[in-house]
Structure formats: C-alpha cells, structure tokens
Structure 1
Amino acid sequence: MDAIKTEVYDIIEVAIHAAVAAGELVISEVPTIPFSPTKTPEHGDIATPIALGLAKQARMAPRKIAEIIVTHINLDAHPTIRQIDIAGAGFINIHLSDNWLYDTLQAIATMRETYGTCNKGEGKQLQIEFVSANPTGPLNIVSGRAAAVGDTLVNLLNAIGYNAIREFYVNDAGGQVERLGESIDVRYRQVLGEDGLEIPDDGYHGEYIREFAQTIVETEGDTHLQLKTDERIALFRDKGIAHILGQQKASLERFGVNFDVWSSEKAIRESGKPEEIIELFRDKAYLYEAEGATWFRMTDFGDDKDCVVVRSNGEYTYFVPDAAYHRDKFDRGFTTVIDLLGPDHQGHISHLKNFVQAMGLPDDWLEVFIIQQVNLVDAGGKRVDMSKRSGHFLTLDALIDELAATVGEQFAVDVARYFFLMRANNTHLDFNMELAITHASENPVFYIQYAHARCCSIFEQGDEQGITPKPIEVVSLKRLTEPMEHELIRKLAEFPSAVLLSAEAREAHRIVHYLYELAGIFHPYYNQHRVLDPADMEKTDARLILIQSVQRVLKNGLTLLGISAPTSM
C-alpha cells in the first residue's frame, strides 16, 4: 500500500503541475499531498483532500480544483488506477485496479514471516529501558503493563530495521534498598522471638518480607544476631535484593519478557562515572554551593527551581547516578534511547532531559514516555486499591495465576499482555477481570485468536478432503471477486504501514486495534462464504491463498505483541 500511495502521490502531483502550467490553477507551491482512508469500498481505496488544502492559495472552490486536477490524469497511462471520483466538498477518491490486490497476496506468500517488516531503521542501535522496578518487592500489574509495552516496542522497532535491545536498570543502591534491609532485619528478629519491634513507616510491610525472613531463619538460624546492627542490615539488604530480583526475573520470564541487559545502579555508582558527571557540570558552571549542599542550575534550562545533586552529607541524590547511567548508554553507542517510566515519574522527565542537554548529548537522543496507572476492576466494577509499602497490591504473578485458573496458563499470559496493550500508554487502563476471564469471542484477544484458529481449521478440513493449497503462481486470483474478499485484502495490505506507524509513534496499541479490525472482517467472511468447494476448485484454490494470507498476517501481528497464535481453541 505504501508503494501504491507513492505512485498515486506522483500522479496527482504531476497533474497539479500540469494544471498550473495550463494556467488553470494559480498557486505558488504544491504542498504535501495528504491521504486519508475511505469509509467504505464504494468510496474507493484511498482518498486525498488536497483540493481543500489548495483552496485558499488558489482562491477557488475545492470541488472545482478537484475537477481540474482529475482532468489532467490520463487513466489509460496509469493502470494502477481504475477509477477516480470527486466526493463532497472536493475529496478525490481513488479506486485502484484489482491487480494491486493480487500483488498484496503475492507479497505475503513470498515474504511469509517477514511480511510487515522493512529496513527503515538501517540497523541503528536503539535501547529501550523499561520496568526497572526497585528490587524491594514483587512486580505489580503496573510493571506488567510496562513489560508488555516495552517488549512489544522492541519487537516493532526490530521489525522496521533497528537493532533494538531490552534493558532493565536495577536500582540496587540508595535509600529504598537500605529500608529493605531494615525491614528484613525487623522481621528476622521477630521470627526469632524478639518483641517490641516495628518496621519504620517508610519501610516495607508486605507479607513477602516476613516469608523471606522466615526462610533465612530456617536455613541459617540465628547466626546473624552476632553481627553489628549495621552489618546485619547490610547483609539482609544484599540478600533481599538478590532474592527479590530473582523473583522479578522469574515473573518476567513467565510473562514472556527476557531482557538483553541488566544494568546496576550500584555498579554505575562504583564506576566513577557520577564523579565525572559532577566535574563536567562544574566545568560548565552548572553547579553552585548553598545551604551546605551542591545545587544544579535547573533554572538555566527553563525549570522553575534548581535541584540538589549532592547533599550536605556528601551523598548523591538520585539525579547524579541517573545522569551517569544515561551517559553510559550514550557511550555504548545507542543512537536513540527510550525510557518508559511509571506514572509517579512525570516530574522526572524534564529534569532528566535537562541533564542530557547539560551533558552535551543530542536533543533528540532521549525519548521518555509515561506508562500510566493500571486499575484492576473486579466483577462488580469496583477498583482494587494497591500499595507496595503497605503490602496491599496485586502482583503480576497473582494476576496471571487468577487468569490461569479460568483460561489456562498459556492463555493467561496472552490475555494479560493483550489487555495491557489495548490502550495508549499515556492513558489510565481499567483491567476488566470479568471480561479477561471470559473464554469466548467477547474477549477481544480470543476474538483475534479464534480468527487464526479458524484459518487453521480450514486447512485441516482440506487435508481430510484431499484438498491442499497450490502455489500462488498457478492460482487464478481473479476468482476472488466478492466485496468482502477485496475488503480483506485491503486490510492485509495495510499491515506493513500499521507496523511502521506503530513503531515510529512508539504506540503498541495500534497493532492491537489493527488485528481486531482484521478479525472483524474475517469472521463474517468465514461465516458467509464457503472456502472448500470441490465443485469449483479454481475458486477454492484462490480462497485458500486468501486464507493463508489472513492466517500469516494474524500470526505475524500476534507475534509482535508476544501473544500466541493457536491452531485450535
């Protein structure tokens, strides 16, 4: 379809220049020619409102401009176009010849699993950092949404030719992990019978802390009581990080997300890079001393106030290792980095971009997107409140367990990923559990998977009848004459553009919507038209090619989303 649009673009542009040369249009320049989808096949395959865009410059009614443009298009010289109509105030509707439909099926048959891919990225190195949850507790469902989005974006970017990697930044240093050690220490001593102990308000109260402390006692006894308090807390901090990080990795692997790189904040801090960043900022006069601390001149970059980067006790605020970590990304050769942050990091975006600018990195090098809150909605339509510190939160594993109890383990991950991906990243998501556990076509992910399974069932039935698909080269595709067949092929032709636009916009939900729309065209076709007809094998052969194409695009799209394409349901 992109190639067709390019060809039609050139045809219309030449027609406009011809009209200008003939003195029929008086304009100073030809603007970019836009295209828009048509509402129904009766309105053509593609449309352009270029006449409306030229009206002010030409001082002429848009419909009159459209009529002039069309008179300069010789359809005999352009077999790609079958018919041109002018609609409404001046839309030019293009009806394409059927040959491009057949070319679409040929492209799918030839490219197979690579249909939908391109080389727009030219192998450029690109990194997406996502999830990066603190190693202080199990992954919750907000992290699950970030995992689904980040993993899919990497798939999409690789599909359009980038060399994209997945990276998880482990926040294994700083105050939050110190409080983790303190919380484990309290629970450890409580398990051993010590009374009068309370976890600090800013500590971690979840049952998982008590369970881990119990495990330490069962395996290592009370030997750690002999240590000094600060030594014991440091020991429990390191043990806790290792234990929880291991759980997080297992949860992500279960969810189908495997990171290429795990980076460590502790390693960044110990590398000397934070000191290099401070010296760089000092050399550029971005720092000053006040109130015993070192401040960064954030106001130099348009912010309303400066920020502390080194506290009065000599400790870095989290800004410094963050800046050093991003410098490390740049030094590793990434031409673009994308950070997917949680909903509580909105205020961090401008600070981070200011630091990147202060380090002298390209303005467009860093992209930051917020993955908004997920609200779990129960069967009664009530939202479930979650909080990590209080321990009242739904973990990603618990969600998958609950789904698996109804739809099975395989489909539980599919359902979770689909529901996390079905809305734009920057919008709040209500995860409807009642719909998610519905094992029927009302469940949108099953609606798409049923379409793929139905394609597979047609070939199984064909095998039973001794009917197998023929090579596309020997099949008469002109037997595909039904309007629904042409509608299906038009939708299949949109897939490469859908992948490209989704990747470039960093919007994974576009593929979700595309697949749902494709399934919405296929299911009525399946119900209304007989594919296997021994009495008309020429039509059967053509329809089997169409079904193969639908099956392939559904599978390619589901694979990008990290969702399975079952052969039966």
Structure 2
Amino acid sequence: MGVEEQVRNLVVGALTDLAGSGVLPSEVTSVTFSVERPKRPEHGDLATNAALAVQKAAKKPPREIATLLAERLGKEPDIRAVEIAGPGFLNLRLAPAIYQRVLGDVTAAGPAFGRGPAGLGERVLVEFVSANPTGPLLISHGRGAILGDAVATLLEATGHRVTREYYINDFGNQIRLLAASVLAVALGREPPEGGYGNNDYLEDLVTWLQKTSPELIADDKVEELSRVCVTRMLDGVPGSKALPGIKKTLASLRIQFDGWYSEESLHRWGRVNAALAELQTRGSLEEREGALFFKSTDEGDDKDRVVKKRDGYFTYFASDIAYHADKINRGYDRLVNVLGADHHGYTARVRGALAALGLPKERFEVVLYQLVNLLRDGKPYKMGKRLGNLVTIEEVVDEIDEAARRKGAGADALRYFYLARRSDTTIDLDIELAKKASMDNPVFYLQYGYARLCSILRRAQEKFGLQVPRHTPALAARLEHPDELAILGRLGRFPAIVAEASALREPHRILFYLQELSQDFQSYFTRLKKDGDTILPLDAQMAEAGWQETWDRPKSEARLLWIDAIRTVYGAGLKLAGITALERMHKLEGEAVAAEAELGFGAEEAEGDPQPQASKKEAEAS
C-alpha cells in the first residue's frame, strides 16, 4: 500500500472516530478528499484538504474541523507532526515506518507489483495500426503501432481482458489499384492513375509472382491477384528487404496481434448490407442523386456521410459501421481505436452510427496521436534507401540495431521515443541520437538506470558473497536516509501511476515515472558520495586493516533489499513500455563492456556518478 493510501486510511479513521464519538456527524465519513505532496517540501511530507472537504457535511468551520483532526492524527505513531495551514489544510510529517512498509509490499508482490487483479475488468478490443496493406509499414505507422500496444498492455495490467486486432483494409479501390500497379510493373505498362508507381517492393513482389503464380499476371486476373498481393503485404516476400511483411515488421517491434479482421469478409458475409438495411429500417439513410447517405446525428458530426456511391461501390464508412457493430455483437464491453490525428472527427461519426443502430455508443472511444518528424543530427530526414522518399520501420530499426550491435536496440529506441511524450504532441525522432551509447541518448540513460541497479547487486555477490536478503520489518527499519525513504514513497505510488496511465490511455506516464525514479536514485548516489557514505565498502576502504569491524553489514543488507525493490519496480515499468531491461550495457564501438566498467561504475568508482566513456570517434574528434 502506498504512503498516500496509508495516510488516507488514517484520515478516514480519524473522521470515523470523531463521528463515532458524536463530535462530527456520520456523513463526514463518506466525503471524498485529497492527499497529496505539497508543492514546497518544507510544508511537510503530505497534505490533505479533508477539513475543507467535509465542512458542509460537518456544519462546522474548516479550521475547527482541522483542529479536531490534527489532535486525533497527532496520536498516530505513523504521524510525527501535524500543522494547520491556511483555511484548514493539514500538513503532515510522517514517521519512517510508513515508508518502510512499502518495501514489504514490493518484495511480497515481486514483478506483479502495480498490477491489478487479472480478468476482473472489462472485455476490451483495441484496434490499432490497420494501415492499408498496399506497402510496407512506414516510420509514421510505428507510432500508432507502439502506442496501441502500450495502451493494450496497460489495460491488461489493470485487470482487463484485452484483444489486439488489426483491421485489414482489403476491399475497395486501393486494393484494385495495388493489383493494377503490380500488373503495370510486370507487363511494362504505365502505372494507373493514383497507383503505387515502380517502387522496389513492387519489383520484388512481381519477381516472386512470376516464379510462383505467373498465370495471375498473364491473364490479368485483377481480383484474384489483389487477394494474393494483400497476403504478400502481410506475410512478406521471402528474401525481400523492401517487403519483409507487415507481420514481421510488427514482430520486430514486439507486437503480436490476437486477430486480423478482413474488411472484405464484411462484404462477403453480408454484414455491410445487413447493417445498412437496419439503418434504412430505422430511418437513418437517405438516397440523393443516386447515392446513399447516412444522415447526421447529434453526436457532433454535422455532415451527412455517403455509404454507397452512385457507381454502386460502398465507402469505407459503410464498412466501418458494420465492423464496429460486429465488435459489439462479439461481446466486447469497450472498443478502443488508436488513430492518427487526422481522424479527429471519427469518434462522433462512429458513435452516431452505433446509436442509430440501437447499440451502446458509449463503448466506443478513440486515442489520437500526432505526426512524427524524422531527423538526423537535428535536421529533417526524408530520404529512404529502399522506397525513394518513404522511410520504413524496418530501415530505422535495422540501422539502430547495427549501430548498437544488439538486436532489439532499434525497437527499444522507437518504443521510448514514441511513448515518452503525450500522444497529442508531435514527436521529433533523431536517428543519430537514438544510436548513441551515451547519456545524451534518453533511451540509453533509461536502460542504464536498470543496469546500474543490477551492477550493484552483482558486486555485492561477487565481492562480498551477499545475496538479496529476505524482507523483515527489522531490516526495513535500517533504511533511514531521507532519500531512501523518499524513493520508497515513489515506489509506493507505482500502482496508482499504472492505474492512471491505463484509465487515461497515457503510456507516457510510465516513462515519466521511470525517469523520475532514475533521477532520484542518481541524486541519492551523489549525496552518499558527498557524505562519505557507501552502500558497499569501496576497494580503498577494504585495503585498510580492520575494515570489516567498521562495516555496518546489516545496513548494507537493508540497502541491497531496497535496491532490489527499486529494480523490481523499474523492471515492471520497462516491461509495460515494452523496453528491454538490460542487466548489462555495451559500448557502441569496440568490444562489449559491462556497464559498471564502461560508465566508471566498477572498482573504486563502483558507487560514483555515471561517467560515460567517449566512443573512439568522439575521443578522436576531441
């Protein structure tokens, strides 16, 4: 239980006691109030507005209520001091024990700390990416892919039953244009108007088709060819770098979908006609000038939308109506779509259609994300090696993997840069920065925070034979340093951060939390060094005779348990973001070196500040 929650329970207990003794009416026990950290630390550890919140129910002035609460809370062993401020705020100073209890909660829960009970929430379908299967996934698609996966992961962590679904837009004019573009390349024709040109991936696709299905090209079988082309876009062309396949690209970002839903199947199985027939019966469709329109509703979409064109072809919106109706009919309690910011009017449109069908419109929501600007050394970068002016996810991931000499480094970098900011803000992704093995690279810094914790625990084992001890209240009581208590307080807030990030669909809150946790630990190290304190004896100390007698071993053991708790929460946060929790870090150039050696974190400097070693190129340049 977090520190704030423990204090909230104490305040509720105080109100209950005051109500039970007749000093306050019983209604005060049901009033909501806040418990939060003051903006200025000198005002206390936590503050509450409970006296102000209950004044109406209590029918007393807030200062009088505050005085009663202060007297009652002052008797609690977990409260060191209570001060009344302003019109009735209570500033509280807490005893160490209230922080130390968090350590027991973390060690008891382990990697599950912060997660809610499984399967007790809603049944949620999260639809994301859903890019037209007419080419490889581009770097711009990556943000929606990673954001959608992170939102789904957070929902799972808070007890919801989540299905990840990719909606395959495999019906309509774009798919016909894809097949026509393939035929144009194969037969040496001019590409069709609005087609896909003579890109590398089309060349690779044509070469594969000529070997496996030459009859599709020779006979101009556009409809049959379009189905095969969609399959290759999803599964890829064997051996092709330009067309690895949408599924493979997503897997490289550690994204796996539970279902792939075909738009074409909606038409083949009659679901689009059935949905439109229901809307016609309910008076929500109107025919004008040979086209069929869905009439605007009071959901915020003030424009009638075409569902069937004059030429008899259905629009994408007609498919969307049937698709989202089918989602609800499959039994999902909530439908979450992750879409680009250009779909800002989509929520009202779909909700209007669901309401017109008599379905619960409130189940549908949209998470919007802004564009990605690709940079190289701070300058706009628009040229891709494989697709002319298009840059694929595979291209960027491969480049970062190669620079880091680690498979998965590219996925870590994209996940960090795409999740570290609010989804409604534009992102600048600098490839050169993402490749650096230095503290300038925020991905490197974030992963180093975890590796440093692992390094301390390794050193304890290798040099002193110390394992992480079993938690006991007596051991936790050895943690008295202000920074140790403050970090325990932050650990206790992790479940609330996860719950909030899930409810608001804001994964960036997890990375903000990890960054602050890493900074707190760095400040702690700096202060220890300044005070001449250490977690473990340094080599210089061990060189002195009798150092064992002066070493406070129980205190070191308590700190190791504390560090392991930090590592547990840190690792849980990285897992929610889908970023690798590295136990060792490696240099960009040269042989792999453990983080503690590379960053001045071994031997004499084992507990010093991180000092990134310059790469060979940087050293030569300086």
Secondary structure, counterpart of 2:116 in structure 1: coil
Question: After superposition, where does 1:337-486 map in structure 2 within 5 Å?
Answer: 337-379=335-377, 381-385=378-382, 392-407=389-404, 408-464=406-462, 465-473=464-472, 476-486=475-485
Letter in 1 for 2:206: A
Q: 1:264 and 2:257 equivalent?
A: no
Distance 1:91 1:433, change over 3 A: farther
Secondary structure, counterpart of 1:82 in structure 2: strand
Alpha-carbon displacement from aligned partner over 1:390-413 (angstroms, at most 9, x marks no partner): 952211111112212322322221
Secondary structure, counterpart of 1:425 in structure 2: coil
Q: How much has 1:364 moved relative to structure 2?
A: 2.1
Paired residue for 2:486?
A: 487
Alpha-carbon displacement from aligned partner over 1:41-76 (angstroms, at most 9, x marks no partner): 5433322245566799999997x4675354452422
Q: How much has 1:363 moved relative to structure 2?
A: 3.4
Q: How much has 1:140 moved relative to structure 2?
A: 1.3
Instruction: Between 294-303 and 504-513, report the one with greater CA deviation.
Output: 294-303
Letter in 1 for 2:194: D
Paired residue for 1:542?
A: 558
Question: After superposition, where does 1:507-526 map in structure 2 within 5 Å?
Answer: 507-526=506-525
Letter in 2 for 1:399: V
Instruction: Between 466-475 and 291-300, report the one with greater CA deviation.
Output: 466-475
Q: Is the 8 A contact 2:340 2:368 kept in 1?
A: yes
Alpha-carbon displacement from aligned partner over 1:363-407 (angstroms, at most 9, x marks no partner): 32111111221111221x2333589xx952211111112212322
Which of 317, 320, 326 aligns to 1:319? It is: 317
Q: How much has 1:550 moved relative to structure 2?
A: 0.6
Secondary structure, counterpart of 2:93 in structure 1: strand
Q: Aligned partners of 1:330 and 1:452: how far apart in 2?
A: 42
Q: 1:157 and 2:155 equivalent?
A: yes
Paired residue for 1:7?
A: 9
Q: How much has 1:309 moved relative to structure 2?
A: 1.2
Q: How much has 1:178 moved relative to structure 2?
A: 1.1
Letter in 1 for 2:515: Y
Paired residue for 1:241?
A: 230
Secondary structure, counterpart of 1:507 in structure 2: coil
Q: How much has 1:202 moved relative to structure 2?
A: 4.7
Paired residue for 1:496?
A: 495
Paired residue for 2:536?
A: 532
Q: Aligned partners of 2:472 and 2:57: how far apart in 1?
A: 49
Q: How much has 1:171 moved relative to structure 2?
A: 0.7
Instruction: Between 361-370 and 526-535, report the one with greater CA deviation.
Output: 526-535
Q: Aligned partners of 2:280 and 2:474: how far apart in 1?
A: 72
Letter in 1 for 2:48: T
Paired residue for 2:603?
A: none
Q: How much has 1:342 moved relative to structure 2?
A: 1.8
Q: 1:116 and 2:99 equivalent?
A: no
Q: Is the 8 A contact 1:444 1:516 kept in 2?
A: no
Which of 267, 277, 280 aligns to 2:278? It is: 280
Q: Is the 8 A contact 1:205 1:391 kept in 2?
A: no
Alpha-carbon displacement from aligned partner over 1:329-380 (angstroms, at most 9, x marks no partner): 112211111011123322322211111221222232111111221111221x
Letter in 2 for 1:357: A
Q: Is the 8 A contact 1:167 1:262 kept in 2?
A: yes
Q: Aligned partners of 2:363 and 2:18: how far apart in 1?
A: 39
Secondary structure, counterpart of 1:252 in structure 2: helix
Instruction: Between 484-493 and 426-435, report the one with greater CA deviation.
Output: 426-435
Q: How much has 1:159 moved relative to structure 2?
A: 1.1
Distance 1:28 1:113, change over 3 A: closer
Q: Aligned partners of 1:105 and 1:14: how far apart in 2?
A: 28
Instruction: Between 295-304 and 237-246, report the one with greater CA deviation.
Output: 295-304
Paired residue for 1:35?
A: 35
Distance 1:12 1:134, change over 3 A: farther
Q: How much has 1:132 moved relative to structure 2?
A: 0.8
Paired residue for 1:558?
A: 574
Q: Aligned partners of 2:289 and 2:14: how far apart in 1?
A: 67
Q: Aligned partners of 2:487 and 2:195: how far apart in 1?
A: 56
Which of 209, 213, 216 aligns to 2:209? It is: 216
Q: Aligned partners of 1:466 and 1:489: how far apart in 2?
A: 25
Distance 1:87 1:295, change over 3 A: same
Distance 1:7 1:58, change over 3 A: closer
Q: Is the 8 A contact 1:136 1:176 kept in 2?
A: yes
Letter in 2 for 1:209: L
Q: 1:331 and 2:329 equivalent?
A: yes
TM-score (norm 2): 0.82
Equivalent residue pairs, number: 552
Specify every segment of 5 or more residues in structure 1 that has no aligned partner in the other structure, as ranges.
none
Q: Aligned partners of 1:204 and 1:124: how far apart in 2?
A: 45
Secondary structure, counterpart of 2:72 in structure 1: coil
Percent identity of paired positions between Structure 1 and Structure 2: 32
Secondary structure, counterpart of 1:289 in structure 2: strand
Distance 1:340 1:50, change over 3 A: same
C-alpha RMSD of matched pairs (Å): 2.9
Q: How much has 1:277 moved relative to structure 2?
A: 0.6
Q: Aligned partners of 1:350 and 1:140: how far apart in 2?
A: 28
Paired residue for 2:72?
A: 73
Q: Is the 8 A contact 2:15 2:29 kept in 1?
A: no
Paired residue for 2:174?
A: 176
Q: Aligned partners of 1:264 and 1:69: how far apart in 2?
A: 65
Q: How much has 1:271 moved relative to structure 2?
A: 1.6
Alpha-carbon displacement from aligned partner over 1:117-165 (angstroms, at most 9, x marks no partner): 1238614311111111110111112221111111111211111111112
Q: Is the 8 A contact 1:19 1:72 kept in 2?
A: no
Q: Aligned partners of 2:496 and 2:554: how far apart in 1?
A: 31
Q: Is the 8 A contact 1:15 1:69 kept in 2?
A: no
Instruction: Between 165-174 and 52-61, report the one with greater CA deviation.
Output: 52-61
TM-score (norm 1): 0.89
Q: Aligned partners of 2:391 and 2:110: how far apart in 1?
A: 40
Q: Is the 8 A contact 1:66 1:92 kept in 2?
A: no
Letter in 1 for 2:226: R
Secondary structure, counterpart of 2:115 in structure 1: coil
Paired residue for 2:47?
A: 47
Q: How much has 1:31 moved relative to structure 2?
A: 5.3
Q: Aligned partners of 1:267 and 1:311: how far apart in 2?
A: 20
Q: Is the 8 A contact 1:183 1:200 kept in 2?
A: no
Q: Is the 8 A contact 1:135 1:172 kept in 2?
A: yes
Secondary structure, counterpart of 2:360 in structure 1: coil
Specify every segment of 5 or more residues in structure 2 that has no aligned partner in the other structure, as ranges.
236-244, 538-547, 586-622
Q: Is the 8 A contact 2:170 2:230 kept in 1?
A: yes
Alpha-carbon displacement from aligned partner over 1:169-209 (angstroms, at most 9, x marks no partner): 1111111111111111111112xxx5xx2342354553322
Q: Aligned partners of 2:469 and 2:333: how far apart in 1?
A: 45
Q: Aligned partners of 2:114 and 2:560: how far apart in 1?
A: 21
Q: Aligned partners of 1:110 and 1:30: how far apart in 2?
A: 31
Q: Is the 8 A contact 2:298 2:352 kept in 1?
A: no
Q: Is the 8 A contact 2:308 2:315 kept in 1?
A: yes
